[in-house]
C-alpha cells in the first residue's frame, strides 16, 4: 500500500537506501546519513513536496519523493524525483505504482515537468522510458565515486497535456494533499 512518509520511517527507508550508497553509483551520495539526519530530510521535503512509501505488513519496500530542481524562481514549475525499491522487490510493479502516484501529486500541485537524474544503465533507462520520461541530456564525468568518474543522465517527464504560457503558482503539497486518494 502507498502512504505518506513520516520522519519515523527514516530507519526503514535507510534499509533500502544505505546499500545503494555503499555499493553503487546510482546515487552520488557517499556517506550514509543516520536515521535522525534522514528524518530531518523527510520533514524538510514534505513541507513542500510529496514523499511516498510502499508498505506491506509494516515493512517499507520502496519510496519516492520530489524535491526542488533549482533555487531560482523561474524553475518553480519543475522538480526532481527520486525513487528506490528494495532489491528483493525490483520489477514487482512497486516502482511504477509509486511513480504514478507521485506524478498525480505533482500535477495537483501545479508542477509542469519532473526531472529524473539517473545513471544511464539499461534497467534505469528502460524503467524511466516506460514511465514516459525522455532523455534531455547526459553529463559525462558528472560524479566521482569508487575511484572513478560516472555520467549522469537527465530525463524529463512532461506532467501536463499542454504546457501553459503563464502557469499559476505551484502549491505546497500540504495544501493539496487532501485531494489525493492513496489506495484506491
| Alpha-carbon distance values, 168 to 1, 72, 80, 111, 124 (Å) | 32, 16, 19, 9, 32
Q: 2-179 sits in which CATH class?
A: alpha beta
76 phi and psi, to 5 degrees? -55, -30
List, as one string, the DSSP characters of the chain.
-EEE--GGGHHHHHHHHHHHHHH-SSS---SPPPHHHHHHHHHHHTTTS-EEEEEETTEEEEEEEEEES-SSGGGTTEEEEEEEE-GGGTTSSHHHHHHHHHHHHHHHHT--EEEEEE---HHHHHHHHHTT-EEEEEEEEEEEETTEEEEEEEEEEE-SSS--SSPPPPPPHHHHGGG--S--
pLDDT computed for residue 183 by the predictor: 75
pLDDT computed for residue 114 by the predictor: 98
Count of C-beta atoms within a 10 Å radius of residue 16: 19
Tens of pLDDT along the chain (184 residues) come to: 999 999 999 999 999 999 999 999 999 999 999 999 999 999 999 999 999 999 999 999 999 999 999 999 999 999 999 999 998 888 888 999 999 999 999 999 999 999 999 987 888 899 999 999 999 999 999 999 999 999 999 999 999 999 999 999 999 999 999 999 987 5
- For residues 85, 89, 93, 96, the Cα torsion angle rounded to the nearest 10 degrees is 10
Residue ranges covered by each domain of the chain: 2-179
Amino acid at each position: 500500500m502507498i502512504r505518506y512518509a513520516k520522519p519515523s520511517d527514516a530507519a526503514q527507508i535507510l534499509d533500502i537506501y544505505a546499500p545503494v550508497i555503499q555499493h553503487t553509483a546510482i546515487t552520488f551520495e557517499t556517506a550514509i546519513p543516520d536515521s535522525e539526519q534522514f528524518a530531518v530530510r523527510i520533514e524538510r521535503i514534505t513541507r513542500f513536496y510529496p514523499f511516498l512509501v510502499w508498505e506491506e505488513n509494516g515493512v517499507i519496500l520502496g519510496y519516492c519523493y520530489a524535491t526542488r530542481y533549482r533555487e531560482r524562481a523561474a524553475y518553480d514549475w519543475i522538480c526532481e524525483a527520486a525513487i528506490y525499491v528494495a532489491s528483493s522487490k525490483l520489477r514487482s510493479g512497486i516502482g511504477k505504482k509509486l511513480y504514478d502516484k507521485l506524478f498525480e501529486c505533482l500535477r495537483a500541485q501545479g508542477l509542469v515537468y519532473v526531472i529524473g537524474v539517473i545513471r544511464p544503465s539499461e534497467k534505469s533507462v528502460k524503467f524511466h522510458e516506460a514511465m514516459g520520461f525522455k532523455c534531455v541530456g547526459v553529463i559525462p564525468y558528472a560524479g566521482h565515486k569508487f575511484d572513478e568518474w560516472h555520467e549522469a543522465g537527465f530525463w524529463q517527464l512532461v506532467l501536463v497535456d499542454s504546457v501553459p504560457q503563464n502557469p499559476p503558482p505551484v502549491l505546497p503539497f500540504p495544501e493539496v494533499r487532501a485531494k489525493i486518494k492513496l489506495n484506491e
